[in-house]
């Protein structure tokens, strides 16, 4: 048992990876290791349990290296919200970390800050401020609609941390009220749960497009290390 044995981690890896050429992000490599194997190794230092959600096809095709990782695999759902709903019942910890496998560069400091914050806050997310130079607006049917303020704009990132009982309640309310969201954060807001924001590292980028894969490799080369958590 570690000092973080009360933490369960959910790694979301069930996406198709279509925007990076159809390659599942879990099995993209950086510095000779897959994103998934790196993240499992990293979060093992801060979790008593790791749940990895993969697509059924990826789960059936796991090689011996990934089968041997210290984690439990489940089949993910059709959407992010579905996958989290499937994963949470497997979690035994009193707190849950939720992280995208598409963010293989999260530093240890960010994880530790989340673990500390969730002791007193029911929901915590990493964020990064968005610096906007131009004016912003919504556009509807090719016409300017509602202007958007440039101040206090932040991007939501993972990992995110939740007290397990609160997350269970949020997901239950979402199911009852048929709330569907791309992130847990707006679900928490609909359930009147305050979400604390922590500004995280700029290195915690999300791999979405092919150029992001190249950026990850460049960052590793610039650091002169194969470790993602330093």
Mean predicted confidence (pLDDT) in 107-134? 97
Q: Can you give the pLDDT at residue 1?
A: 40
The structural domains of the chain, with segments of one domain joined by +, span 7-124+158-221
Q: What is the rounded CA–CA span in Å between residue 135 and residue 57?
A: 44
- Residue 208: CB atoms within 10 A of its CB come to 14
Q: Can you give the pLDDT at residue 14?
A: 85
Picking from 8-12, 96-100, 154-158, 224-228, which range would have the lowest pLDDT averaged per residue?
A: 224-228
What SS3 class is residue 86?
helix
Question: Can the peptide bond before residue 83 be classed as cis, meaning omega within 30 degrees of 0?
Answer: no
Q: Can you give the pLDDT at residue 50?
A: 99
Q: Can you give the pLDDT at residue 228?
A: 45
Domain 7-124+158-221: CATH superfamily, name plus number? Spore Coat Polysaccharide Biosynthesis Protein SpsA; Chain A (3.90.550.10)
Q: What is the DSSP string of 128-188?
A: EE----S-EEEEETTEEEEEE--TT-EEEEEEEEEEHHHHHHHHHHHHHHT---SSHHHHH
Question: Tokens at residue 119, please?
Answer: 């002791």
pTM of the predicted model, to two decimals? 0.90
Q: What is the rounded CA–CA span in Å between residue 92 and residue 8?
A: 7
């Amino acid at each position: 048992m570690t000092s973080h044995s009360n933490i369960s981690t959910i790694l979301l890896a069930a996406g198709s990876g279509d925007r990076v050429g159809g390659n599942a992000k879990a099995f993209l490599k950086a510095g000779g290791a897959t994103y998934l194997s790196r993240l499992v190794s990293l979060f093992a230092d801060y979790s008593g349990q790791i749940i990895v959600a993969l697509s059924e096809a990826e789960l059936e095709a796991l090689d011996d290296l990934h089968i041997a990782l210290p984690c439990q695999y489940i089949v993910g759902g059709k959407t992010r919200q579905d996958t989290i709903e499937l994963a949470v019942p497997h979690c035994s910890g009193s707190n849950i970390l939720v992280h995208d496998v598409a963010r293989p560069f999260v530093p240890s400091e960010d994880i530790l800050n989340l673990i500390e914050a969730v002791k007193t806050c029911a929901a915590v997310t990493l964020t990064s401020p968005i610096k906007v130079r131009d004016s912003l607006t919504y556009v509807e049917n090719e016409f300017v609609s509602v202007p958007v303020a440039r101040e206090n704009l932040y991007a939501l990132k993972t990992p995110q941390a939740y007290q397990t009982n609160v997350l269970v309640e949020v997901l239950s309310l979402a199911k009852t009220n048929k709330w569907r969201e791309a992130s847990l954060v707006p679900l928490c807001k609909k359930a009147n749960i305050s979400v604390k924001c922590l500004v995280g590292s700029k290195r915690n980028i999300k791999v979405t497009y092919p150029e992001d894969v190249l950026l990850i490799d460049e960052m590793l080369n610039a650091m002169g290390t194969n470790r993602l958590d330093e």
